Amino acid sequence: MNKFLLLSSSALLLSACATDPNAATRVNNSAGRASVYEDVRSSSAIQGIGVESQDIVGIADKMVRDMLSNPILAGRATPPRVLIDSEYFKNMSSSRVDKDLIINKLRVQLSRAANGRMIFVGRQYAGVAEAEADLQHAGVVDGGTTGAPAPTLRVDYRLVGSMNSQDTVGSRSGETLRYQTFTFEMLDVRTLELVWSNEYEYKKSAQDDLIYR
Amino acid sequence: MPAFRLPLTVAALASALLLSACPSNGQKPIDEGPQPGVRVDDARAPNAGLRLDTVAILDKSLQNAKGGKLAVESTGARRSPTNTVEAYAVIRNRTDFPLQIEGRTQFFDAVGMPIEGPTMWQRVMLDPQGISSYKELSTRTDVGHYYIEIREGR
């Protein structure tokens, strides 16, 4: 009888091992926490004193609307050629942010809203035209459908600007306060006249225990 | 004969009631499919709905005309030099404390069709008992109407 019981319990234990896949790998097979979509236009539960999505969207929105109300930029019979890239936009602030995140948003929003009132030059992609012309000269590709290679456009105005900040840290509380400014200007590349300027600023305070990357 | 009259009358009335409960084709409606969106048109809710060229205060704590924290002193719009439209609202803080509010605008064409999505929420700081203004520019020139929304800063 004892032998029978021992054999039965061993068989049961073995069968349990064979059917439970977690027993072998020790995988934590729980559902986990689902990711949550949030509104890019509003602050979220995780927020600090750095540059966040609502700031980037707000900057682009404000600058686009102001540029399109400027007669030099958006009221000319011949639309001006503009170059909006981050080469002359400096991040001098203590905020860690990819400045192309701001400039790309600005260029795309402005390009969509301008609707022919400005001509946008993609100087940052200049190598593309040269490479394509080289391939055509080498006989690798044909002439395309938009005509012979043409000189790339000289721009009238170029975006320049900077991000600057001033931090204040409470030595006892560890609370940090940041005054952050974003300055945007359109420079006449022929005369260096600044034909348009605007800025966006904020002051935020928090226990600075977030990592921006 | 009068003995049969009462049951006949009752039967006729019951049939009439049953028939009136059914649609004209005699079939009962089936509750299936999406419901059409409706506009609230109720005398008991005079503020429901969209009123163009006005300022709407969204938060209950700010909006009450008697005890609300904000007063909208004036609102309007004008054309910019490039023919875009600038809408504005002058807002007064009715409290003895500083307030942070946010405003955004939606622009519509002359027939009331929305032509620009709502703008980004723009923060406005109000000093105690002070007046400040909220302004927003359109990107398009074919604007006919505007609608400003105000909420508490967050």
d(CA A16, CA B7): 74
Contacting residues of B for A62, CB less than 8 Å apart: 120, 122
Q: Are B94 and B82 in contact (CB under 8 A)?
A: no
C-alpha distances (whole Å) from A80 to each of A22, A151, B3, B153 are: 66, 17, 99, 38
- Biggest CA–CA distance in chain B, Å, is 93
Residue matched to tokens 């602030």: A93
Instruction: Tell me how close the Cα of A15 comes to any Cα of chain B, in angstroms.
Output: 50
In the predicted model, what is the mean pLDDT of chain A?
87
- From A91, A102, A113, A210, select the one nearest A162 (Cα to Cα): A91
Question: Looking at residue B144, what DSSP letter applies?
Answer: -
Range list of H helices, chain A: 2-19, 21-25, 53-67, 71-74, 99-114, 126-137
Residue matched to tokens 């703008």: B119
Question: Looking at residue A182, what DSSP letter applies?
Answer: E
Percent of chain A at pLDDT > 90 equals: 59
- From A195, A189, A197, select the one nearest A161 (Cα to Cα): A197
Three-state SS for A83? strand
In this prediction, residue B3 carries a pLDDT of 47
Each residue's pLDDT tens digit, B46-99: 888 889 999 999 998 887 767 789 999 999 999 999 999 999 999 999 999 999
In this prediction, residue A51 carries a pLDDT of 93
Is the pLDDT at A38 greater than 80, yes or no? yes
Percent of chain B at pLDDT > 70 equals: 83
Is B137 close to A74, i.e. CB distance below 8 A?
Answer: no
Three-state SS for A113? helix
Choose among B121, B122, B139: nearest Cβ to A68: B139
A146 or B77, which is more confident? Answer: B77
How many CB atoms are located within 10 Å of the residue B129 CB? 11
Question: pLDDT tier at B6 (50, 70, 90 boundaries)?
Answer: low
Instruction: Tell me how close the Cα of A66 comes to any Cα of chain B, in angstroms.
Output: 7
Nearest CA in chain B to A71: B82
What H or E segment, with its residue span, contains residue A119? strand A119-120
Nearest CA in chain A to B138: A65
Instruction: Tell me how close the Cα of B104 comes to any Cα of chain A, in angstroms.
Output: 11
Choose among B81, B83, B119: nearest Cβ to A61: B119
**Residue B122 near chain A (CB below 8 Å):** yes
What H or E segment, with its residue span, contains residue B57? strand B54-57
How far is C-alpha A136 from the chain's CA centre? Answer: 35
Nearest CA in chain B to A112: B139
Three-state SS for B90? strand
Three-state SS for A66? helix
d(CA B142, CA A210): 44
**Residue B56 near chain A (CB below 8 Å):** no
Three-state SS for B29? coil
How many CB atoms are located within 10 Å of the residue B20 CB? 7
Question: Is the confidence metric ipTM above 0.85 for this complex?
Answer: no
Choose among A41, A43, A69: nearest Cβ to B80: A69
Question: Looking at residue A124, what DSSP letter applies?
Answer: G
Q: What number does CATH give the domain A49-207?
A: 3.40.50
Residue ranges per structural domain of chain A: 49-207
What H or E segment, with its residue span, contains residue B62? helix B60-63
Counted across chains A and B, CB pairs separated by less than 8 A come out at 45
User: Using beta carbons and an 8 Å cutoff, which residues of A are at the interface with B?
Assistant: 41-43, 54, 57-58, 61-62, 64-66, 68-71, 74-75, 113, 115, 117
Percent of chain A at pLDDT > 70 equals: 87
Q: Are A155 and A83 in contact (CB under 8 A)?
A: yes
Instruction: Tell me the average pLDDT across B12-41.
Output: 72
Question: pLDDT tier at A121 (50, 70, 90 boundaries)?
Answer: very high
- From A206, A194, A211, select the one nearest A170 (Cα to Cα): A206
Give chain B's domains with CATH numbers: 54-152 (2.60.40.3230)
In this prediction, residue B28 carries a pLDDT of 86
Instruction: Tell me how close the Cα of A170 comes to any Cα of chain B, in angstroms.
Output: 23
- Biggest CA–CA distance in chain A, Å, is 105
d(CA A55, CA A42): 9
Q: Terminus-to-terminus CA distance in chain A, angstroms? A: 68
